[in-house]
Amino acid sequence: MRIFAKLITTLLLAASSSLAAPSKGCAYKVKEEINPPRGWTKHASAPADHLISLRFGLPQENFRTLEKHLYEVSDPAHSRYGQHLSKEEVEALVTPHPDSLSAVNNWLAGFNLKEDLNRSPAKDWVTIKVPVSLAEKMLDTKYYIWRHTESGDELVRTTSYSLPIDLHDHIEVVQPTTIFGRFRPAKSTISFIEDGDTVSASDLSNAEKIVAGESGVTVDASCNTTITVTCLKQLYNAVGVVPSGDSRNSIGVTGYLEQFANIQDLQSFFADQVPAAVNSTFKFESVVGGLNTQNLSQAGDEANLDVQFAFGISNPVPATFFSTAGRPPFNPDVRTTTNTNEPYSDWLDFILKQENPPHVISTSYGDDEQTVPQSFANRVCAGFAQLGARGVTLTFSSGDNGVGDGDANPATQKCITNDGRNATRFIPLFPAGCPFVTSVGGTASVPEVAVSRFFSGGGFSDYFARPLYQEVAVSQYLASLPKGTYAGLFNPHGRGIPDVAAQSDRFRIFLGGRIASIGGTSAASPTFAGFVALLNDARIKAHKPPLGFLNPLIYSIGASTFNDITVGHNSGCGTTGFNVTKGWDPVTGLGTLNFEKLKDVITSPFVL
């Protein structure tokens, strides 16, 4: 690592020293401005003493170098494959230039903001809690209470903010200002199974067997109506796979919006589906005051689904559930309330400080990409890249609305742009469109098809260009489309979504002490993450490092290990969306996992 350390020092010293601190009384210039967001109306002026946690993102001096390292350590054809960076090495690469640190410090000091500054480990984020009146002065703006017409959600936001001209090179983004996302879980309907209809998972497995499509594996016929851990291990060719529980392996699940993972329900689930896991549990991590409510009546359907299947598949791999505080809607007239509705920021602040984050982490939440300002989306995505460089696999659900927006009915989705043009446009999801995460779409039935009770989110990012690792696969798909298909409705140069898929409907969970059936791509992400934990166990047994950022692997030598899904589509915006086809497609990605095949690839002596 001496060479690496010397490289970091050289980069930092060589960085331009021409950036000057802003002069006193420097004129302000607009930094970011958006059109009034669709579906939100200006309700009233924000109370002057309402508190806001302002976050300032400083330029990450050597992010492109970090990105280069990320791709090298994630590419199985590279000699550095698996040689993930340390926390300190990553931080050294994204630490802002000293001139930027000085400029921002001096500017904040001009508002008597010297104490209580919360800095990220790399000092690339500075957070300060201030009243609206001071935020308006600092940003030369006016905050209002905005109300979402359909839901009644309220946010304190502005549609434009400014910074001193000399600070524009030192601050990339300030939030909460222009972000109007309606952060939500990616799940569809839930139904409870009546006591009289209750049968055990072992009873379900005694049904007749069927063949699961091209993989040739044998699956219980009951898996066409009820998905269990047994079904998933059969479908994805991992029957009998039991990881070692080695402390060097780990898995995590994120929880938001007051979604509480109930331990009693987890024990019931284990007794029903994974008897060997009974009496085991997960480590709980509170993020910015996230609660660990264990009242059965407050058990979260999303949280229970995620932990039961992610940890049920991977048990006894050490498991962690992260509970991040904050839930919209909120009352902005309550003076002591702070609600920024930027959960990824809070979670990233927390996880990037950890010396040993879980090796694979699943998230089943997202926003319409267009509701997240691109400057902020870029910075969040850069945070995910930092984790990837450190050897963390991040899986995200691709969403349940096909190519459309949040309206559950694909025929009535508005799919209107937020850029002032009010044009019809397919609506990709964020963070699923970040090129540094693995996006997971949804399938159903045996043999598998694209899920149709809701529609697997997919398409092409308007913010992020198509990464090199998926150039061949996505270009082949686009070349197969009839000329002019959906012209102008999507970005043919964007990052393709999703990367892979997994079952996502009729999952048998325990919720509030009762058996329930639930579906959505929120089930697909923790399912896939559970199998990644099993793959990491195989890597550890072979004396190899964990997989880390998966995409360069799965789009290259790992592509042939996925079961191609060729039936279905993802309706939305009044269209049938994209069709599923041979090879990669923007509905099910590369397809679903064949565990044994991919395990053989990643444990091969030819793969580092």
**Rounded-to-integer distance, Cα 364 and Cα 360, Å:** 13
Q: Is 8 annotated as a binding residue?
A: no
**Rounded-to-integer distance, Cα 25 and Cα 309, Å:** 57
Phi, psi of 475 (to 5 degrees): -60, -40
- Residue of 227, 223, 232 whose CA lies nearest to 314: 232
Show the CA angle centred on residue 382, arms to residues 381 and 384, nearest 5°.
65
H/E stretch holding 500 reads strand 500-503
* Neighbour count for residue 123 (Cβ, 10 Å): 16
Which tokens in the block code for residue 342? 């930027």
Q: Specify whether 306 is catalytic.
A: yes
Q: Is 530 annotated as a binding residue?
A: no
Torsion over CA of 205, 206, 211 and 216, rounded to 10 degrees? 70
CB 570 within 8 A of CB 403: yes
Which tokens in the block code for residue 327? 């839930």
Give 315-344 as a DSSP string. TTS-EEEEEE---SS--TTSTT------HH
Give 529-585 as a DSSP string. HHHHHHHHHHHHHTT-----S-HHHHTTTTGGGEE---S-B--BTTB--PBP-SS-B
Which tokens in the block code for residue 168? 């524009």
Catalytic residue among 136, 172, 301, 306: 306
**Rounded-to-integer distance, Cα 524 and Cα 521, Å:** 5
Q: Specify whether 462 is catalytic.
A: no
Catalytic residue among 61, 136, 220, 302: 302
Beta bridge partners of 282: none
Show the CA angle centred on residue 182, arms to residues 180 and 185, nearest 5°.
155
Catalytic residue among 522, 525, 537, 571: 522
**Rounded-to-integer distance, Cα 534 and Cα 524, Å:** 16
Q: Specify whether 556 is catalytic.
A: no
Q: Is 520 annotated as a binding residue?
A: no
In three-state secondary structure terms, 55 is strand
CB 426 within 8 A of CB 361: no
**Rounded-to-integer distance, Cα 296 and Cα 549, Å:** 36
H helices of 126-193, in order, are 132-139
Burial 380-393 (b: 16+ CB within 10 A, else e): bbbbbbbbbbbbbb
Q: Is 349 annotated as a binding residue?
A: no
Query: From the annotation, which residues make up the binding site?
Result: 564-565, 583, 585
Query: Known catalytic residues?
Result: 302, 306, 522
Q: Which residues are annotated as a binding site for Ca(2+)?
A: 564-565, 583, 585
